Amino acid sequence: MRSLMMARMAMQALAQNKLRTFLTTLGIIIGVASVIAMVALGQGASASVQARIAGLGVNVLTVFGGSATTGGARQGSAAVESLRAADVEAIRRECPSVRLLSPQLRRSAQVIAGDNNWATGLQGVDTAYFRIREWTFATGSAFEAIDTTVSAKVCVLGETVRQQLFGNADPVGAVVRVNQVPLRVVGVLTPRGQTSFGQDQDDAVFIPYTTFMNRLYGTDRFSMIVLSAVSPEEVDAARAEVTSLLRQRHHIRASSDDDFYIRTQQEIAQAAEQTTAIFTLLLGGIAAVSLVVGGIGIMNIMLVSVTERTREIGVRLAVGAHRRDILVQFFTEALVLSVLGGLAGILVGAIAVWVVRALSPWAPIMTVSSVLVAFFCASAVGLLSGYYPARKAAHLDPIEALRHE
Amino acid sequence: MALSEESLVDARDVVDSADSLIEVIDLHRVYGSGILAVHALRGVSFHVGHGELVAIVGPSGSGKTTMMNILGCLDRPTTGQYRLGGRDVSTLSADELADVRNARIGFVFQGFNLLPRNSAVQNVGLPLRYGPPLSSAERHRRSLECLSVVGLAHRASHLPNQLSGGEQQRVAIARALVNNPSLILADEPTGNLDTRRSEEILALFQRLNRLKGMTIALVTHEPDIAACCRRVLHFRDGVLERDEPIVMRSLDTNDGDAFAVRDPAGPTPSRGVECVPCVP
More confident residue, A74 or A288: A288
The rounded distance, in Å, linking the Cα atoms of B41 and B147 is 37
Residues on chain A touching B115 (C-beta within 8 angstroms): 312, 315
Residue of A nearest to B96 (CA): A322
Residues on chain B touching A315 (C-beta within 8 angstroms): 109, 113, 115, 126
- B109/A402 CB distance under 8 A: yes
The rounded distance, in Å, linking the Cα atoms of A55 and A268 is 12
More confident residue, A404 or A55: A404
The pLDDT assigned to B9 comes to 43
Which of the residue ranges A61-65, A255-259, B49-53, B87-91 would you say has the lowest mean pLDDT?
A: A255-259
Instruction: Flag whether pLDDT at A76 surpasses 70.
Output: no
Query: Concatenated DSSP letters for B81-97?
Result: EEEETTEE-TT--HHHH
- B175/A319 CB distance under 8 A: yes
| pLDDT confidence band for B237 (50 / 70 / 90) | very high
- B107/A318 CB distance under 8 A: yes
SS3 B30: strand
- B115/A5 CB distance under 8 A: no
Nearest Cβ partner for B133 among A1, A317, A318: A1
- B113/A2 CB distance under 8 A: no
Residues on chain A touching B75 (C-beta within 8 angstroms): 399
Give the gap in angstroms from C-alpha B207 to the nearest C-alpha of chain A: 23
* Longest Cα–Cα distance in chain A: 105
Residues on chain B touching A327 (C-beta within 8 angstroms): none
Query: In A213-322, which ranges are continuous DSSP H helix?
Result: 235-249, 265-308, 310-318
The mean pLDDT of B75-96, rounded to a whole number, is: 91
The pLDDT assigned to B265 comes to 43
The pLDDT assigned to B259 comes to 55
One-letter identity of residue A7: A
The mean pLDDT of A96-116, rounded to a whole number, is: 89
Q: What is the ipTM of this complex?
A: 0.83
The mean pLDDT of A345-349, rounded to a whole number, is: 93
Beta carbons within 10 angstroms of residue B147's beta carbon: 28
| pLDDT confidence band for A80 (50 / 70 / 90) | low
Lay out the sheet containing B53-57: strands in order across: B105-108, B183-187, B215-220, B53-57, B231-236, B239-245
Residues on chain B touching A2 (C-beta within 8 angstroms): 133
The pLDDT assigned to A20 comes to 85
Residues on chain A touching B175 (C-beta within 8 angstroms): 319
Indicate which of A1, A11, A313, A315 best probes the interface with B, i.e. most B CBs within 10 Å of its own CB.
A315
**Helix/strand/coil percent split, chain B, to 5:** 35, 25, 40
Residue A14's alpha-carbon distances to A1, A227, A305, A333, A382, in angstroms, are 20, 67, 11, 7, 15
Q: Is B114 exposed, middle or buried (0-12, 13-18, 19+ CB in 10 A)?
A: buried
The rounded distance, in Å, linking the Cα atoms of A121 and A195 is 15
Beta carbons within 10 angstroms of residue A320's beta carbon: 25
Nearest Cβ partner for A311 among B94, B113, B127: B113
Instruction: Flag whether pLDDT at B205 surpasses 60.
Output: yes
Beta carbons within 10 angstroms of residue A363's beta carbon: 16
> Rounded mean pLDDT of chain B?
84
Q: Which residues are CB-neighbours of A63 under 8 A, at least 6 positions away?
A: A83, A224, A225, A226, A227, A242, A246, A260, A261, A262
- A399/B98 CB distance under 8 A: no
- A320/B111 CB distance under 8 A: no
The rounded distance, in Å, linking the Cα atoms of B196 and B246 is 23
Give the gap in angstroms from C-alpha A329 to the nearest C-alpha of chain B: 12
The mean pLDDT of B171-196, rounded to a whole number, is: 92
The rounded distance, in Å, linking the Cα atoms of B24 and B88 is 10
Q: Which residues are CB-neighbours of B153 under 8 A, at least 6 positions away?
A: B144, B147, B270, B273
Residues on chain B touching A325 (C-beta within 8 angstroms): 130
Nearest Cβ partner for B107 among A16, A319, A324: A319
The pLDDT assigned to B128 comes to 93
Q: How many CA atoms lie within 13 A of B125 on its CB side?
A: 23
| pLDDT confidence band for B262 (50 / 70 / 90) | very low
The pLDDT assigned to B267 comes to 41
Residue of B nearest to A1 (CA): B133
Instruction: Flag whether pLDDT at B273 surpasses 80.
Output: no
The mean pLDDT of A366-372, rounded to a whole number, is: 87
| A90 contacts A263 by C-beta, under 8 angstroms | no
The pLDDT assigned to B4 comes to 44
Indicate which of A5, A312, A319 best probes the interface with B, i.e. most B CBs within 10 Å of its own CB.
A319
H or E element, residue A378: helix A368-394
Residues on chain B touching A324 (C-beta within 8 angstroms): 95
The pLDDT assigned to A176 comes to 92
| B180 contacts B280 by C-beta, under 8 angstroms | yes
Instruction: Flag whether pLDDT at B79 surpasses 90.
Output: yes
- A319/B101 CB distance under 8 A: yes
Helix B136-149 to helix B120-129 angle (10° resolution) is 120
The pLDDT assigned to B70 comes to 94
- B133/A2 CB distance under 8 A: yes
Q: Where are the domains of chain A?
A: 2-52+271-403, 81-258
SS3 B233: strand
| pLDDT confidence band for B256 (50 / 70 / 90) | low
| pLDDT confidence band for B6 (50 / 70 / 90) | very low
The mean pLDDT of A187-198, rounded to a whole number, is: 79
The pLDDT assigned to B264 comes to 44
Nearest Cβ partner for A320 among B69, B99, B113: B99
Q: Residue A344's beta-bridge partner residues? A: none
| pLDDT confidence band for B272 (50 / 70 / 90) | very low
Residues of chain A contacting B, Cβ within 8 Å: 1-2, 5, 9, 13, 16-17, 311-312, 314-325, 398-399, 402
The rounded distance, in Å, linking the Cα atoms of B206 and B200 is 10
The pLDDT assigned to A134 comes to 83
pLDDT by residue (tens digit) across A280-305? 888 888 888 888 888 888 888 888 88
Instruction: Flag whether pLDDT at A189 surpasses 50.
Output: yes
The rounded distance, in Å, linking the Cα atoms of B200 and B215 is 18
* Domains recognised in chain B with CATH numbers: 51-77+95-245 (3.40.50.300)
The pLDDT assigned to A111 comes to 92
- A2/B101 CB distance under 8 A: no
Beta carbons within 10 angstroms of residue A114's beta carbon: 11
| pLDDT confidence band for B1 (50 / 70 / 90) | very low
Nearest Cβ partner for A320 among B98, B111, B113: B98
Percent of chain B at pLDDT above 70?
A: 84
Residue B149's alpha-carbon distances to A37, A95, A203, B14, in angstroms, are 59, 103, 94, 24
- B117/A399 CB distance under 8 A: no
Residue of B nearest to A397 (CA): B74
The pLDDT assigned to A56 comes to 64
Q: How many CA atoms lie within 13 A of A108 on its CB side?
A: 2
Which of the residue ranges A135-144, A178-187, A287-296, B222-231 would you say has the lowest mean pLDDT?
A: A287-296
> Rounded mean pLDDT of chain A?
85
Indicate which of B105, B109, B124, B182 best probes the interface with A, i.e. most A CBs within 10 Å of its own CB.
B109
| A248 contacts A260 by C-beta, under 8 angstroms | no
Which of the residue ranges A317-326, B4-13, B91-100 would you say has the lowest mean pLDDT?
A: B4-13
- A312/B115 CB distance under 8 A: yes
- A320/B133 CB distance under 8 A: no
- B102/A314 CB distance under 8 A: no
Give the gap in angstroms from C-alpha A358 to the nearest C-alpha of chain B: 45
- Identify which of A53, A209, A241 has the alpha carbon closest to the alpha carbon of residue A129: A209
Residues on chain B touching A313 (C-beta within 8 angstroms): none
Terminal alpha carbon distance of chain B: 15
Instruction: Flag whether pLDDT at A67 surpasses 60.
Output: no
Instruction: Flag whether pLDDT at A141 surpasses 70.
Output: yes
Residues on chain B touching A17 (C-beta within 8 angstroms): 117
Give the gap in angstroms from C-alpha B57 to the nearest C-alpha of chain A: 19
The rounded distance, in Å, linking the Cα atoms of A391 and A386 is 9
- A325/B127 CB distance under 8 A: no
Chain A to chain B Cβ contacts (< 8 Å)? 57
The mean pLDDT of A127-146, rounded to a whole number, is: 88
* Torsion angle, alpha carbons of A182, A185, A191, A196, to 10: -40
